[in-house]
Amino acid sequence: MQPSHLFTVRVWRERASGGRLEWRGVVQHVLTRETFAFRTWNDLVAHLVNAAVKDDATTIQPRDNDSQKQT
């Protein structure tokens, strides 16, 4: 099975200089919590592709899971 990645993406529009609306966003890798801010859709796609094809030698460590800490 191929490794997979899970991301959350938050997008919004805000007024830029000159009054025009521009897209803004943040993408976060769910396991590592690595975040990346973007201003263009191309930047978002490039970041997701780069994250998906990172060197396979890099092991993603899951974040602490509160459900595993139950006594």
DSSP the chain: ------EEEEEEEEE-GGG-EEEEEEEEETTT--EEEESSHHHHHHHHHHHHTS-TTSPPPPPP-GGGG--
Query: Could you tell me if residue 47 is inside a domain?
Result: no
Query: Could you tell me if residue 12 is inside a domain?
Result: yes
- The closest of 35, 40, 43, 46 to 9, measured between CA atoms, is 35
Query: Could you tell me if residue 17 is inside a domain?
Result: yes
Query: Could you tell me if residue 48 is inside a domain?
Result: no
Please state the pTM of the whole predicted model. 0.66
Would you give per-residue pLDDT tens digits along the chain (71 residues)? 667 889 999 999 999 889 999 999 999 999 889 999 999 999 999 999 888 887 444 555 555 654 444 44
Domain range for residue 16? 1-36
Query: Could you tell me if residue 21 is inside a domain?
Result: yes
Query: Could you tell me if residue 14 is inside a domain?
Result: yes
Number of folded domains in the chain? 1
Query: Could you tell me if residue 43 is inside a domain?
Result: no
Q: For residue 51, what pLDDT is reported?
A: 85
